[in-house]
Chain A
Amino acid sequence: MIKELTRRLAELGIMGINRRNADFTLALNPRRYYPLVDDKLATKRLALEAGIPVPELYAAVGRESQVRHLAAGLAPHEDFVLKPAHGSGGDGILVIAGRAGVNYRTAGGLILNREELEYHVYSILSGLYSLVGQTDQAMVEHRVRFHPVFEPISYQGVPDVRIIVFLGVPVMAMLRLPTRVSEGKANLHQGAIGVGIDLAAGVTLGGVAKHGLVSEHPDTGISIQGLEIPHWETQLAIAARAYELTNLGYLGVDLVLDCNRGPMLLELNARPGLGIQLANRAGLLPRINLVREYYHGPADLPGAEERVAFAREQFRAS
């Protein structure tokens, strides 16, 4: 039975973790470029230099002594997102949706006083949420107000779009919807829903939750299929350009769609998860092999626009 399952998954071109690590992240993502994506402040700086829109940075805290000035600096902003610069998997992200007098109200409805907020910053600085436990920086940024089109299929947090980019070509995409289980976070392993996207049209396909395949949002009951994602072409273009930003051959690009400011680059990931294959009911390997057939290496890679056109042409959902 195991043999049979292995064979059929291999036929579908499903990529496993060992395969991703050995043949993609280890082979195509040189270690020296990791800081560009692991440090969200660095990513933000790079994106701004390249003219790619990102959520506005309100404050960055690198030392314990700066923490006490943070509250004053944040006074002009009714809502914001506090996160570790080196966080992974959505850990340590605190979304402040508004104020309750002098206190802060999280997106989940919790009330935090100033001391508790500062404790969270201290935790971030001490490296509690960072990838390898080294001391970290905390960053506070604009809280994205997501596009109304996602309203019926989101619970609390902000939905985002994850696009896998292979050698600069977007090969697979999914929409990640926060649920009650995920507590407003958009990470699949925390319970968010992944919804496959037809790369050509930017229209959602079926979805996957932790327990299996789904076609409705578990909290709102509304169908997640057939939704047209606005500004799709722009989102693909940002994803494709992220390759030149980082030189990482195998990259996960996370984008959010702000109702006022349009698509913005949220963060990059050098080891993107594999659940996207479940969301799209398709394997990554056949698409990657197709890109490999056309482009043999970074040398003969066309510009970002052409790569997007290639992707929309080739990876049409059947």
Chain B
Amino acid sequence: MNRVHLYALALILTAIGLGLFLYKVLALRFPLAPEAEVSIWNVEAKVTFTANHEPVKVSLLIPRSTRRYAVTNDAFVSRGYGITTTTQDDNRLAVWSIRKANGLQTLYYRAEVRRADTKPPVITTPRPQVEKPVFKEAELAAAEDLASRITKRSADHETMAADLLRRLNQPQPPDSVALLLGKQPSNLDKADLAVRILGLTGVPARVVHGVQLKEQKEKAPLLHWLEVWEKNRWQALDPATASVGVPDSYMAWWRGPQPLVQLEGGEALRVTISMARELEDAIQTAVIRGEITKPLLLKFSLLSLPVHTQQVYRVLLMVPVGGFILVILRNLVGITTFGTFMPVLMALAFRETQLLWGIVFFSSLVALGLLIRFYLENLKLLLVPRLAAVLTVVVILMGLMSIFTYKLGIERGLSVGLFPMVILTMTIERMSVVWEERGSVAAIKQGLGSLGAAALAYLVMHQRTVQHLFFVFPELLLVLLAVTLLLGRYTGFRLLELWRFKPLVTKEK
């Protein structure tokens, strides 16, 4: 019954721990490796114009977060201008205004853009209204002819639009198409025309304007593509190739027939869009992405703490890992150490000194401490005063060691001050008792065992990957706890016991 209870508990803990872990890895895409970096894009729109002693109003369409890209940290740089942002239909609009301006004006809009790739939102808005497009008399017949052709052949809006775009892209277009598009039509022309022809058939469609996120020179060209309304969602089509969907690197900036920027009270208006790629810790991206989509989970995570507190927890979360290593060393291997968790604390202290120096400092402190402890033995002091005396001596030795190593130019010596002195004192005391009761060999053996355990704990606890995993996925502690619980009922032999009882087996042969 006890066993069933234990297994059930371990199973539940593992399930919760692994479940959260997998959710964060797969759904929130938290990085498994500490060095993982992802690109973010710093996108900038620069508006220049010349003002001439008049009130100025500049309206710039700015991007909004889509299912593919998250737009954050909007910033507007503009001296003396008032700025308001509003949402119009599917677009965001920024309006700069100033009572009076003169000469060359430069306004900036900047934002950070990250890949988001959230699930397509369920749109509850009804099917958009289609305004009857207006064609010139001569064009109308050609447009209606095209419209009727594509309606006959298509099962749904998407294939209808694709069919239309194919017709618009024919190398030798029929006269009707040539008439509608004119000579050397741009993608924008094709998309615009497609929207109007689809409008004739009553299919909602719109032109999307955007940029391609890639490293490029100064100015990023505007791209245009088509979106048709297909069963509750917008489907993108590339007007140049008539294929369904656009490349992932396309970021939509605005939608519809409006121009990108409008100006009142100035002239020589120019807009340039540029972008720069930056690398960012993947974890940072995951957090920002998560804050946009799943605010609650991250509100209660370690990553929401102030940075220096995060550092504290990075270390603290390693303590259970060290404890787990000791469970293995003691219960599975059978190594004896001074004090159950002394090696874990030593491993924490080694963080500052690094392993090699840590071992040197620890060994010399314990050796010197032992010498003094043996001397104190002659004075026949009672236990607690003796411990306090050894503690004092240990602190003095630590100070001296820091001073001497510093004078010798060994900076590491300064971090001796972070050694857990109480633990050191107890180690010295217990080592001296073992030395007297069991002899020097046993004492040194146990001392080396403790040091070895501390070194091993250090090596594991300071793996960047291990630290990263437990800090980003603290739920893994539940899994660790489950395994520890199971090990708590491990009744098999310890590794060193096998060696101890080996004579019984060899005798049999």
A-side residues, CB < 8 A to B, are 2, 5-6, 8-10, 12, 14, 16-19, 22-23, 64, 91-92, 115-116, 119, 122-123, 126-129, 189-190, 208, 212-213, 274, 277-278, 281, 283
Residues facing A in B382-408 (CB within 8 A) are: 382-384
Find out whether the CB atom of B495 lies under 8 angstroms from the CB atom of A9: no
Within 8 Å CB of B504, what residues of A? 9, 12, 14, 277-278, 281, 283
Give CA–CA (A65, B498) in the complex, Å: 49
Contact among B382, B433, B492, B508 for A6, CB-based, below 8 A: B492
- Interchain Cβ contacts within 8 Å, total number: 79
Find out whether the CB atom of B501 lies under 8 angstroms from the CB atom of A278: yes
Find out whether the CB atom of B433 lies under 8 angstroms from the CB atom of A128: yes
Give CA–CA (A8, B503) in the complex, Å: 11
Give CA–CA (A18, B491) in the complex, Å: 5
Q: Decide: A91 near B437, CB < 8 A? Known: A16-B492, A18-B491.
A: yes
Give CA–CA (A19, B501) in the complex, Å: 14
Give CA–CA (A115, B383) in the complex, Å: 16
Closest 5 CB pairs of A and B: A126-B383, A119-B380, A16-B493, A19-B491, A8-B505
Q: Which residue of A lies closest to B433 (CB)?
A: A128
Find out whether the CB atom of B383 lies under 8 angstroms from the CB atom of A5: no
Q: Which residue of B lies closest to A12 (CB)?
A: B504
Give CA–CA (A212, B488) in the complex, Å: 30
Within 8 Å CB of B277, what residues of A? none
Contact among A5, A22, A189, A278 for B498, CB-based, below 8 A: A5
Within 8 Å CB of B495, what residues of A? 2
Q: Decide: A212 near B503, CB < 8 A? Known: A2-B498, A91-B437.
A: yes
Within 8 Å CB of A91, what residues of B? 433, 437
Give CA–CA (A115, B492) in the complex, Å: 49
Give CA–CA (A92, B434) in the complex, Å: 11
Nearest-neighbour CB distance to chain A for B77, whole angstroms, equals: 68
Q: Decide: A22 near B503, CB < 8 A? Known: A9-B498, A16-B497.
A: no
Is B136 among interface residues, defined by CB-CB distance under 8 A?
A: no
9 A-B pairs with CB atoms under 8 Å apart are: A8-B508, A16-B491, A22-B488, A92-B437, A119-B380, A126-B384, A213-B507, A274-B497, A278-B504
Q: Which residue of B lies closest to A21 (CB)?
A: B491
Within 8 Å CB of A23, what residues of B? 491
Residues facing A in B476-509 (CB within 8 A) are: 488-495, 497-498, 500-505, 507-508
Is B334 among interface residues, defined by CB-CB distance under 8 A?
A: yes
Within 8 Å CB of A92, what residues of B? 437
Find out whether the CB atom of A12 lies under 8 angstroms from the CB atom of B382: no
Within 8 Å CB of B508, what residues of A? 8, 12
Is B159 among interface residues, defined by CB-CB distance under 8 A?
A: no
Find out whether the CB atom of B382 lies under 8 angstroms from the CB atom of A126: yes
Find out whether the CB atom of B491 lies under 8 angstroms from the CB atom of A5: no
Nearest-neighbour CB distance to chain B for A123, whole angstroms, equals: 7
Contact among B334, B437, B505 for A9, CB-based, below 8 A: B505
Nearest-neighbour CB distance to chain B for A63, whole angstroms, equals: 13
Give CA–CA (A189, B507) in the complex, Å: 22
Q: Decide: A18 near B492, CB < 8 A? Known: A2-B498, A123-B383, A126-B383.
A: yes
Q: Decide: A213 near B383, CB < 8 A? Known: A16-B492, A17-B494.
A: no
Interface size class of B (residues with CB under 8 A): 20 to 34
Find out whether the CB atom of A17 lies under 8 angstroms from the CB atom of B380: no
Find out whether the CB atom of A6 lies under 8 angstroms from the CB atom of B493: yes
Is B331 among interface residues, defined by CB-CB distance under 8 A?
A: yes
Find out whether the CB atom of A19 lies under 8 angstroms from the CB atom of B492: yes
Is B438 among interface residues, defined by CB-CB distance under 8 A?
A: yes
Give CA–CA (A208, B500) in the complex, Å: 11
Within 8 Å CB of A123, what residues of B? 382-383
Q: Which of A12, A18, A189 has the most CB of B within 10 A?
A: A18
Nearest-neighbour CB distance to chain A for B10, whole angstroms, equals: 15
Nearest-neighbour CB distance to chain B for A91, whole angstroms, equals: 5
Contact among B433, B488, B500, B505 for A12, CB-based, below 8 A: B505
Give CA–CA (A64, B383) in the complex, Å: 12
Residues facing A in B434-454 (CB within 8 A) are: 437-438
Within 8 Å CB of A189, what residues of B? 438
Within 8 Å CB of A10, what residues of B? 493
Nearest-neighbour CB distance to chain B for A67, whole angstroms, equals: 11
Give CA–CA (A212, B507) in the complex, Å: 11
Within 8 Å CB of B334, what residues of A? 17
Within 8 Å CB of A16, what residues of B? 491-494, 497
Q: Which residue of A lies closest to B488 (CB)?
A: A22
Within 8 Å CB of B493, what residues of A? 6, 9-10, 14, 16, 18-19
Give CA–CA (A14, B501) in the complex, Å: 8
Nearest-neighbour CB distance to chain A for B382, whole angstroms, equals: 5
Give CA–CA (A14, B491) in the complex, Å: 12
Nearest-neighbour CB distance to chain A for B477, whole angstroms, equals: 24
Proximity string of chain B (238-272) to chain A, C-beta cutoff 8 Å, 1 when within and 0 when not: 00000000000000000000000000000000000
Within 8 Å CB of B437, what residues of A? 91-92, 190
Find out whether the CB atom of B505 lies under 8 angstroms from the CB atom of A18: no
Find out whether the CB atom of A190 lies under 8 angstroms from the CB atom of B492: no
Give CA–CA (A190, B437) in the complex, Å: 8
Q: Which residue of B lies closest to A91 (CB)?
A: B437
Find out whether the CB atom of B501 lies under 8 angstroms from the CB atom of A122: no
Given A12-B508, A17-B334, A128-B383, 5 new contacts (CB under 8 A): A5-B498, A14-B504, A91-B433, A189-B438, A213-B503
Residues facing A in B374-432 (CB within 8 A) are: 380, 382-384
Give CA–CA (A283, B501) in the complex, Å: 10
Q: Which of A23, A116, A122, A128 has the most CB of B within 10 A?
A: A128
Give CA–CA (A23, B493) in the complex, Å: 13
Within 8 Å CB of B382, what residues of A? 64, 122-123, 126
Q: Which residue of B lies closest to A116 (CB)?
A: B380
Q: Which residue of B lies closest to A280 (CB)?
A: B504
Contact among A18, A190, A212, A281 for B331, CB-based, below 8 A: A18
Give CA–CA (A12, B509) in the complex, Å: 13
Nearest-neighbour CB distance to chain B for A135, whole angstroms, equals: 9
Within 8 Å CB of B490, what residues of A? 18, 22
Within 8 Å CB of B433, what residues of A? 91, 128-129
Nearest-neighbour CB distance to chain A for B255, whole angstroms, equals: 68
Find out whether the CB atom of A115 lies under 8 angstroms from the CB atom of B380: yes
Nearest-neighbour CB distance to chain B for A258, whole angstroms, equals: 26
Nearest-neighbour CB distance to chain B for A105, whole angstroms, equals: 19
Give CA–CA (A9, B500) in the complex, Å: 11
Nearest-neighbour CB distance to chain A for B489, whole angstroms, equals: 6
Within 8 Å CB of A64, what residues of B? 382
Find out whether the CB atom of A122 lies under 8 angstroms from the CB atom of B503: no
Give CA–CA (A126, B385) in the complex, Å: 10
Find out whether the CB atom of A17 lies under 8 angstroms from the CB atom of B507: no
Nearest-neighbour CB distance to chain B for A51, whole angstroms, equals: 35
Find out whether the CB atom of A278 lies under 8 angstroms from the CB atom of B503: yes
Give CA–CA (A189, B441) in the complex, Å: 12
Find out whether the CB atom of A22 lies under 8 angstroms from the CB atom of B489: yes
Contact among A9, A127, A281 for B507, CB-based, below 8 A: A281
Nearest-neighbour CB distance to chain A for B183, whole angstroms, equals: 83
Q: Decide: A18 near B494, CB < 8 A? Known: A122-B380, A126-B384, A127-B383.
A: yes
Within 8 Å CB of A19, what residues of B? 491-493
Within 8 Å CB of A274, what residues of B? 497
Within 8 Å CB of A9, what residues of B? 493, 498, 501, 504-505
Residues facing A in B303-336 (CB within 8 A) are: 331, 334
Nearest-neighbour CB distance to chain B for A89, whole angstroms, equals: 8
